[in-house]
Amino acid sequence: MKLTGLQIFKLLPNKNCKECGFQTCLAFAMKLAGKQAKLDACPHVSDEAKEKLGAASVPPIRLVKIGAGEREVLIGEELVLFRHEKTFYHKTALAAQVDDGMDAVTLAARAGAASSFSVDRAGETLRLDLIAVKETAGDPQKFAAAVRSVKASSPLPLILVSKNPECLRAAIEAVKDSRPLVWGADAGNVEKVAAVAKEFSVPLVVESGDGIDALAALAVKAAEAGVEDIVLAPLSNSPAARLGDFTQLRRRALARTFKGTGYPLVMAAGGSGYEGAAAAVAGTCKYASVVVLENPEAWEFLPLLTLRQNIYTDPQKPLQVDPGVYKIGEAGDDSPLLVTTNFSLTYFMVSTEIEASEIPARLLIAEAEGQSVLTAWAAGKFNADVIAKAVVAQGLDKTVTHKRIIIPGYVAMISGDLEDKLPGWNVMVGPQESSDIPSYMKDVWAKA
Amino acid sequence: MTDQIPTSAVRRVRIGNTAAQGGTRAFSVEVGGETCLPFLHFEGEMPLRPVIAWEIPDVRPDDWVETVREPYAAVLDDPAAWARLAAEKMGARLLCLDLRGTNPDKQNRTAAEAAALVKKVLAEVNVPLIVKRPGPGEKGNEVLTACAEAAQGERVLLASAVEDDYKTLVAAAIAYGHTVVAETPIDVNLCKQLNILISDLHFPPEGIVIDPLTGGLGYGLEYTYSVMERIRIQALGGDAMTQMPFISFVGQEVWKTKEVKVPVEKEPRWGDRTKRGVLWEIATAVSLLHAGADILVMRHPEAIAAVEKTIDGLMKKG
Amino acid sequence: MCPAVMEIRLNTHKVKFLPSGREALVNEGSTIYDAALALGLPLRVECGGKGTCGRCVVKIEAGPCAPTPHASIAPDKEKKGYRLACRAAVAGDLVLYLPEESTLPAYDIDFETVVLSEDDAKRRKALDGLIVSPVVERRTLDLPRPSLEDNLGDFERLARGLKIPGLTGGPRCALDLLKKIPAALRDSCWRVDVTVADPGGRPEITAVGPAGGAPPVGLALDLGTTTVVGELVDLATGACIRRAAAYNRQISCGTDIISRIIAAGRPGGRDLLRGLALETIGRIVERLLAHAGLNAEAVAAAAVAGNTTMVHLLLGLDAEQIRLEPYIPAVNRPPVLRAADAGLPINPSAPLIFAPGIGSYVGGDVLAGVLACGMGRSEALTLFIDAGTNGEIVLGNRDWMMGCACSTGPAFEGIGIACGMMAAPGAVEAVALETPGAQPSLTTISCAPPRGICGSGMIDLMACLFRHGILDRKGILNPQSACPRIEERGGHPAYLVRKKGEDGAAKEIYLTGVDLKKLLLTKAAIQAAIRTMLAEADLDTRDIARVVIAGRLGEAIDAANAIAIGMLPALPLERFEYVGNGSLWGANLILLSRPAREEIRLLADRITYLDLSTHPSYMEQFVASLFIPHTDS
């Protein structure tokens, strides 16, 4: 049960002593409710309150760690059903799958390609997270050898996919201490495989194609056998059924009242090419903590990782666009240059109106922490200094032929300052409202 | 949390009139009707399948990257032929005629030319039609009013009414019996407000499809995704003024991004350019399907085929 | 290298303002606005000199002055020499004409007796249960004459006579007063009235005069961003003697707090703004004293309730940090000062006390209002709304309270509205409309001929126009509504309230589409703040037992109409209560009562500040509120 700030406040001593670092007990309680503060910060809290508040703070979905060291993967601890409520937390881990039917050279090449992919995008390095190795022949030696050669050519943590306890044991021993995720328990082998997972203290996937109740029961069995870190794999017989299963499992986990559901979910995207990729998209959107791609190809990585980046962006940050120069229409060095802040709604409105003016232009977006023009100006984040620096950083001082810049009408007062900071430039004051941009461009710019 | 099963439904909107309905289409396309979040068949109804509309530009789209121009190489200069190719050879059930050429900044084609083209396309193919103006303003209104008149009785979907400029478009829809797209910039409240304003003009809500503006993959998709989820949750919770089906203009957002344009020679790690672009469009479309999209306007035939297949899988119950 | 020797000569020019004929000498490149500022002319610069509001139009009669393009100056007027003062650079000696509409009306209001007696009843209610224990006390002493045996010094004799319990080391006293004491004692034959201030801490003798003088009075000040209200109070009885108000002269540096802070940050800015605040207060005090027949010395104490920025600017403190993250003011709870330290034109030794604030954007004015409405002593969940230039809202009861501020703008106070004015005689304060095409019926303050519209009238009008379909839900005048009173004014559709001459109107009165947009923003800011705060407390509108409306909107506000446009929560009308000018009441209370001074100190400890500017859902609530009455209702 999630407690509101006022409910928590009633459990606090109401001394307003400020020792927690907040102005009042209520302020502290509101931060606690938003999980932006820890109860330990209050030196006067009663034991009763500690107990009540503590129970509510255990995450409903278990945190599971896969691998060890620098590339360790964390999954679970999700708190919500929809990303607008609170950001989705541990990003969906993407895994590339190989199998022990491949020769050593192919294995090394595929594992190497998957683990070397790396693209920097919007402040994040996009990379794959895991390599899944599938056992196909029931031969422990062969499986262990394949796992070994994958490990040798990739630093990524592994998923070991096999139903055979002996194969799993051999493979785990082959990559000792690397904490692979073992995808192996089903209704037929759960005791044996759980015993292996417990013996080596590795996380375990339990799978079932008989519905989510059967799956939860299996998870309970694995837990009773002593496995703590469990990942659930509902094997659904259609994309629609899969979406239903993943959704219901997530809901049950968040409700905290269904046994055997408080674990992260894994999905095998199945199929190759566009079909598998489309399934991976669905899994990323709807609750898969791990998505395994069968033999993915290079062109799949960037779209899928970009999607994951999008879905896992914090939705409560103000909507921002990247600072920089945006061309609207076929704009060049002699086109009008306008400037505004990186609040996305501001950008949207301004760019739409410029487009409507039908005069190609360039729009300089200055970094203003995603605030609107007046807010940013009031807080000193959108002033002559910021704009002048952005102009220089984008090289506009060298390329713009007309040396004119149009600033939003609401910050007309910085025009003098800006002319001082941009010697030789003519600062033009645009309209206050973006809807007046078209007429401004036609009447004022065209005549200037 | 929406643990309880919602009982309210998204409104059904019909595009296209058959002869029986006073038009000349072979069939009409209906969207909406959901009583559950997308594809959650276990707790509600999703009676109608999301529909993909094929984008047909009215003038040769020289700005399209060649990977998406190539499948249409033979018809690039002929929108009517393009429409025929899509409807007859490629199985399109809905077309979106993009009147980009009427932009005064571009070819500046006249309202009369646009209306003539609408007539011609309606004569060439018998599938329902979306007609899209390049932007609001006087020219856009003139163009769309002429097209609405030219398509009288065919119940086309006119795109798009915006908050500052919706009255003329809605008046044309009322006068000539069409449906409208209400476009708002990624905001639950603005979306609802425009629906109310349009309804206040005595336009029936069953004629409104909402476009909360699509951000392409990597370019604001997450905002569109969440706003659509929120609007839909609100709609299923009983808010009549958000119970409209969604349209997402996917193709135009996807195919202008850097990631679909850069050739593999320049970025070897990014892999095959065509497939990368197609997947960019698929990923945008599929994620928006999960957020509630009812109509997806798309470009690449392979992407469309893959998304149709995804819809097949998601619509299969049990 | 030999540095070039350069003679720097600043060209100065004379700028003469007609019709007053006053002249300023300014550097070349200064603006006409700078010249007006130098002379203290109340130029109407609502945007703070950004060149955006278009209100500071002057006419050049002689001298060089380049055109200043702006929508408010038509081409033919530009040819005739009309310029925006804040944009017009001085390039030579100038003679210019300053039209009346380009200056801020002085609007010195002296409140009528009727108003005061009604208010007095309220004041007594507010004071109910609070012991009158003013911050200064008047005592009449019969001092024994000194002799060779009883040879205490004059000051010590006075101190002994006061018999202040527990005081060691004697009271404090200003040197200037000390100088006067010997003569005062002897002139009054040792029978004196002594005024002692004890604001907490060490008592101070602040006045000594012959016994039987006029009783000491206090000055309560509501220091608003737009309007300043002062009141003289009888410290012995708590009765109001006189009240007066004036526009804050700082408006010539911008109508909003941020513009003022920025203006104060310019060279000489702090002195300029402090001077303007003191000038405003001085003017009010002068009028109060004249009416009451008192001299400045009689004012023995002053209490100020103002927002944090206004207090900073009055005291000449650096206000810059108030607008910069993390928004830390120099002081939230100013110490007790002497009137002379702050430059207040009253008894120099008079203690000057301030209502404390809790942060940069919830200041002493709000706490004063909260104190006055008594919500901190009640169990009932109370929503306190002070809609001034900033809207401040406090929610809670005696167990908990949270407060927030939102930027509403000065529209309700008449600033930035084409025919707006403050609540003063002649202001349209109530409007009713029978049919869409009818002439609206008006109620004006003091039943004077209509001069303009004040906040409550604007709310009424907006609600009427909406009810009759003349205004759409976005707050836009609907040209298709076929209302004959919609005409174009200044390039925008406008609703005509009165033609010139109708009901004695001296000029045309109308509300433009732009005005309506400003009103919509104002109502949305308040509505969104209320909704955000309720959501934060996880409470529903219906949980609110009492809504207290404070601020200059005053009692004239029609709650039903304010509910109709969404500004106030839709609750039964009997739950609404009007505290009037809460800041002024609060200032009165701390002037008059020790328990009140104690309570406001505790309030400052208890109110939790909610920062809306960084609140994740405020913006969204705001957008939802930019609709009449609301997107969801």
Decide if B279 and A310 are in contact by the 8 Å CB cutoff.
Answer: no
Decide if C620 and B189 are in contact by the 8 Å CB cutoff.
Answer: yes
Please tell me which of the candidates B104, B217, B307 has its beta carbon nearest to residue A358.
B104
pLDDT for residue A30: 85
| Closest CA relative to residue B178, chosen from B214, B132, B137, B218 | B132
| Three-class DSSP category at C544 | coil
For C66, how many CA atoms within 13 A lie in the half-sphere containing its CB?
A: 8
Decide if A82 and B313 are in contact by the 8 Å CB cutoff.
Answer: no
- Residue C355's DSSP bridge partners are none
CB C97 within 8 A of CB C59: yes
pLDDT for residue C600: 94
Residue C179 neighbours by CB under 8 Å, 6+ apart = none
Alpha-carbon distances, residue B78 vs B82, B85, B102, B299 (angstroms): 6, 11, 16, 16
Decide if B222 and A117 are in contact by the 8 Å CB cutoff.
Answer: no
pLDDT for residue C131: 65
Q: For B81-224, where are the E strands, in sequence order?
A: 95-98, 129-132, 157-161, 179-183, 208-211
**Which spans in C325-388 are helix H?**
339-342, 364-373
Q: In this complex, which chains have at least 3 CB pairs below 8 Å with chain A?
A: B, C
Decide if C262 and A413 are in contact by the 8 Å CB cutoff.
Answer: yes
| Closest CA relative to residue A143, chosen from A109, A198, A183, A89 | A183
pLDDT for residue C285: 94
Q: Which chain A residue shows the shortest CA-CA distance from B190?
A: A345
pLDDT (tens digit, 9 = 90+) per residue, A360-417? Answer: 999 999 998 888 888 888 778 899 999 999 999 999 999 999 999 999 988 887 888 8
Decide if C473 and B200 are in contact by the 8 Å CB cutoff.
Answer: yes
Is residue A426 within 8 angstroms of chain C, CB to CB? no
Decide if B270 and A359 are in contact by the 8 Å CB cutoff.
Answer: no
Is residue A438 within 8 angstroms of chain C, CB to CB? no
- Residue C566's DSSP bridge partners are none
Q: Which chain B residue shows the shortest CA-CA distance from C481?
A: B201
Q: In this complex, which chains have at least 3 CB pairs below 8 Å with chain B?
A: A, C
* pLDDT score of C1 more than 60: no
pLDDT for residue B278: 98
Is residue C543 within 8 angstroms of chain A, CB to CB? no
* pLDDT score of C186 more than 50: yes
Q: Which chain B residue shows the shortest CA-CA distance from C627?
A: B193
Q: Which chain A residue shows the shortest CA-CA distance from C262?
A: A378
pLDDT for residue C4: 37
Is residue A297 within 8 angstroms of chain B, CB to CB? yes
Segments of chain B scoring below 50 in pLDDT: 1-6
- How far apart CA A169 and CA A155 sit, in angstroms, is 21
Structure tokens at A28: 């502290």
CB C523 within 8 A of CB C463: no
Spell out which residues of chain A touch residue C49, defining contact as CB-CB under 8 Å.
413
Residue type, C59: K
Spell out which residues of chain B touch residue C473, defining contact as CB-CB under 8 Å.
193, 196-197, 200
pLDDT for residue C113: 47
Is residue B239 within 8 angstroms of chain C, CB to CB? yes
* φ and ψ at residue A232, rounded to 5 degrees: -100, 135
Decide if A303 and B279 are in contact by the 8 Å CB cutoff.
Answer: yes
Residue C6: pLDDT band by 50, 70, 90 thresholds? very low
- Residue A109's DSSP bridge partners are none
Please tell me which of the candidates A5, A26, A375 has its beta carbon nearest to residue C613.
A375
CB pairs under 8 A between A and C: 56
- How far apart CA C551 and CA C549 sit, in angstroms, is 7
Separation in Å, CA of B52 to nearest CA in chain C: 31
3-state secondary structure chain A: CCCCHHHHHHHCCCCCCCCCCCCCHHHHHHHHHCCCCCHHHCCCCCHHHHHHHHHCCCCCCCCEEECCHHHCEEECCCCCCCCCCCCCCCCCEEEEEEECCCCHHHHHHHHHHHHHCCEEECCEEECCCEEEEECCCCCHHHHHHHHHHHHHHCCCCEEEECCCHHHHHHHHHHCCCCCCEEEEECCCCHHHHHHHHHHHCCCEEEEECCCHHHHHHHHHHHHHCCCCCEEEEECCCCHHHHHHHHHHHHHHHHHCCCCCCCCCEEEECCCCHHHHHHHHHHHHHCCCCEEEEECCCHHHHHHHHHHHHHHCCCCCCCCECCCEEEEECCCCCCCCEEEEECEHHHHHHHHHHHHHHCCCEEEEEECCCCCCHHHHHHCCCCCHHHHHHHHHHCCHHHHCCCCEEEECHHHHHHHHHHHHHCCCCEEEECCCCHHHHHHHHHHHHCCC
pLDDT (tens digit, 9 = 90+) per residue, C99-122? Answer: 877 776 655 565 554 455 556 666
Separation in Å, CA of A34 to nearest CA in chain B: 17
Tokens 């108003």 label which residue? C115
CB A134 within 8 A of CB A160: no
* pLDDT score of A440 more than 60: yes
CB C551 within 8 A of CB C582: yes
Please tell me which of the candidates A118, A285, A356 has its beta carbon nearest to residue B137.
A356
Spell out which residues of chain C touch residue B188, defining contact as CB-CB under 8 Å.
620, 624
Is residue C517 within 8 angstroms of chain A, CB to CB? no
Residue type, B174: I
Q: Which residue has the higher pLDDT, B103 or A200?
A: A200
- Residue A10's DSSP bridge partners are none
Separation in Å, CA of A86 to nearest CA in chain B: 11
| pLDDT, average across residues A64-83 | 94
Residue C311 neighbours by CB under 8 Å, 6+ apart = C223, C304, C317, C331, C334, C354, C357, C363, C364
Q: Which residue has the higher pLDDT, C413 or B16?
A: B16
Alpha-carbon distances, residue C85 vs A444, B130, C43, C51, C561 (angstroms): 21, 54, 9, 9, 39
Residue C43 neighbours by CB under 8 Å, 6+ apart = C33, C36, C37, C56, C85, C98, C102, C103, C104, C252
Structure tokens at A3: 């407690």
Tokens 């034959």 label which residue? C189
For A246, how many CA atoms within 13 A lie in the half-sphere containing its CB?
A: 29
Is residue A439 within 8 angstroms of chain C, CB to CB? no
CA–chain centroid gap for C124, Å, is: 23
Residue A400 neighbours by CB under 8 Å, 6+ apart = A333, A337
CB C15 within 8 A of CB C62: no
Decide if C52 and A410 are in contact by the 8 Å CB cutoff.
Answer: yes
Q: What is the separation, in whole angstroms, between the first and last Cα of chain B?
A: 24
Residue C187 neighbours by CB under 8 Å, 6+ apart = C210
Count of C-beta atoms within a 10 Å radius of residue C141: 20
Q: Which chain A residue shows the shortest CA-CA distance from B36?
A: A244
CB A277 within 8 A of CB A239: no
Separation in Å, CA of A432 to nearest CA in chain C: 8
* pLDDT score of C394 more than 60: yes
* pLDDT score of C340 more than 80: yes
Cis amide bond preceding B160, omega within 30: yes
- How far apart CA C171 and CA C196 sit, in angstroms, is 9
- How far apart CA C104 and CA C101 sit, in angstroms, is 8
Q: For C211-239, where are the E strands, in sequence order?
A: 217-223, 227-234
CA dihedral B211, B215, B217, B220 (to 10 degrees): -140
pLDDT for residue B170: 97
| pLDDT, average across residues C7-22 | 74
pLDDT for residue C622: 92
Q: Which chain A residue shows the shortest CA-CA distance from C400?
A: A26
Tokens 């002594």 label which residue? C194
pLDDT for residue A15: 83
- How far apart CA C137 and CA C194 sit, in angstroms, is 8
Alpha-carbon distances, residue C359 vs C308, C365, C391, C527 (angstroms): 7, 12, 14, 22
Lowest mean pLDDT among B227-241, C58-72, C269-283, C504-518: C58-72
SS3 content of chain C, % helix, strand, coil (to 5): 35, 25, 40
| Three-class DSSP category at C89 | strand
